[in-house]
Amino acid sequence: MTYPGRRGAPVIDVADLRVRLRTRRGSAQVVNGLSYQVHPGETVAVVGESGSGKSVSVLALLGLLPERISQVEGCATFDGQDLLSLDEEALRRVRGAGIGMVFQDPMTSLNPVLTVGRQLVEGIRAHARIGVPAARTRAADLLGEVGLPDARRALDRYPHELSGGMRQRVMIAIALSSEPALLVADEATTALDVTVQAQILELVSRLQADRGTGVIWITHDLGVVAGIADRVLVMYGGRCIEDGDVDDVFYRPAHPYTRGLLGALPRTDEPDDKPGGGTPGELVTIPGTPPSPTDLPPGCVFWPRCPVRADPRCETEVPPLVPVHEPAGTPAGVQHHAATFCPPDAVQGGAS
């Protein structure tokens, strides 16, 4: 796909987002100072392992976390207003109309006892003053657009009568039904098999190009990222530890964790000589487990698992997210940042 560049104001501008959840084990800092922007037509991939805070960070934007146990701070400018300070009714108007969401499991994300048509129509009518017949016509058009055969009749189908891929198409139709400026896909292809996954990715790219929608794609699948993202944001332990153009991050990862992730990516195209890498085609994982959000290390969140530990400050001091000095000759793109004390040479030799 073509990279539309960074024209105009961002669709969403998130600054220093912090989310704290109260759990039975105490308070957990799940998202810790996250900042990013998404521009119209741009796809930003948020990458990280389970528990890295990536899903929570977007649910928090729309007030979809359980209110009683969550505490959200920071600023998220969308359409000229700060989402985090909106009241429930104003937020409701942003949900669906301004920001559409697609969730991971199409089996459970649709209400099993309501028809597909109903679920589309109620979303449309939540934001537009139109009658049911008009909304149904629009719903049928949308289903056609996302590639459901026989869209008119599909309106009266129940979710269980559709395949997983078809259900995810319905989810996308629902998410796009009110023409949102931003689409958030939370692990939207994880539960699907590979061919369907490719179809869905293709569909979203096409719709995005047609409408100029900004997309936040949350995933732990680096293969997906490589396929669709313009920019990548790597999360670990609730922090952004590296972000930049997809090429910069993939070919010149600056953070040891990103390198580890890339090492964990199953590869079939080339022999693997990276540290932590295995034989071709073999999935490699980083030893150890992500830190518990109730008990974060004082320094770099990755320190306990870090194979490099190049600097004594790593253990005690949180490394700031600073620009990475690219080697001469790299094409100028969006600024590439990483939060690490590791000198560039210590981590060179990523996927190249």
Partner 1 sequence: MLVFLLVHLVPGDPVRLALGTRFDQETYEALRERAGLDLPLPVQYLAWVTSALTGDLGVSFRSGDPVTSLILERLPATLSLATTSILVALAVSIPLGTLSALRPRSVIDHLATLVSQAGISVPDFWMGILLILLFAGTFGLLPAGGYVPLSQDPLAWASHLVLPSVTVGVVSGSILTRFVRSSVLEAIGQDHVRTARSKGLGARTVLRWHVLRNALLPLVTVTGVQLAYLLSGVVVVEIVFAWPGLGQLALQSVQSRDYPVLQGAVLLFAVVFLVINLIVDLLYARLDPRISYR
Partner 2 sequence: MTAPTPEAGALPAGTARPRWRESLALLLRNPIAVFAGAILGLVVTAALFGEALAPSGFNEVDIAARLQPPSGKHLFGTDELGRDVLSRVLLGAAVSLQVGLVAVGISLAVGTTVGLLAGYYGRRLDDVLMRLMDVLFAFPAILMAIAVLAILGPGTTNAMVAIGIVYTPIFARVTRAAVLGVREEVFVRASRSVGASDLRLLVRHVLPNAAPPIIVQTSVSLAFAVLSEAALSFIGLGTQPPDPSWGRMLSEGRGFIELAWWMAFFPGLAIFVTVLSFNLLGDALRDVLDPRQRTAMSSTATGEGGARA
- Tokens encoding 15: 């600054």
- Contacting range for partner 1; rule: CB under 8 A; set: 41-49, 102-110, 262-270, 318-326: 102-110
Considering the rule CB under 8 A, would residue 51 count as an interface residue with partner 2?
yes
User: Are 258 and 306 contacting, i.e. CB atoms less than 8 angstroms apart?
Assistant: no
Residue of 263, 275, 339, 349 whose CA lies nearest to 307: 275
Residue with tokens 């030799």: 349
Q: Which two tokens stand for residue 76?
A: 């998220």
- State phi, psi for 137 to the nearest 5 degrees: -60, -45
CB-based contact 59:44 (threshold 8 Å): no
* Residue 119 backbone class (left: φ over 0; alpha: ψ -120 to 50; beta: rest): alpha
> Any contact of residue 86 with partner 1 (CB under 8 A)?
no
Residue closer to partner 1, measured from CB, 128 or 346: 128
Strand, coil or helix: 183? strand
Q: Which of 6, 22, 274, 309 binds partner 2 (CB under 8 A)?
A: 22
For the CB of residue 122, give the shortest distance to partner 1 in the complex, in Å.
Answer: 6
What's the rounded Cα separation, in Å, for the pair 108 and 163? 13
Selected range binding partner 1 among 173-181, 226-234, 243-251, 319-327, rule: CB under 8 A: 173-181
Question: According to the binding rule CB under 8 A, does residue 171 interact with partner 1?
Answer: yes
Select 289 or 330, whichever has its Cβ closest to partner 2: 289
Q: Where does this chain touch partner 2 (CB under 8 A) — which range of 21-29, 118-126, 128-136, 302-310?
A: 21-29
* CA distance to 34, 69, 151, per residue, from 154 (Å): 40, 39, 5
Decide if residue 55 touches partner 2 (CB under 8 A).
Answer: yes
- For residue 203, the minimal CB distance to partner 2 (Å) is 24
Sheet (strand 70-78) strand order: 26-38, 12-23, 70-78, 81-82
Query: To the nearest whole angstrom, how small is the minimum distance from the Cβ of residue 55 to partner 1?
Result: 11
Count of residues near partner 1 by CB under 8 A: 34
25 binds, among partner 1, partner 2, none (CB under 5 to 8 A by kind): partner 2
Q: How many beta carbons lie within 10 A of that of residue 273, not counting itself?
A: 8
Residues binding partner 2 (CB under 8 A): 21-25, 28, 30, 50-56, 69, 104, 187, 292-294
Residues that bind partner 1 (CB under 8 A): 59, 62, 64, 88, 92-97, 100-101, 103, 105, 108-115, 119, 122-123, 126-127, 158, 160, 171, 174-175, 177-178
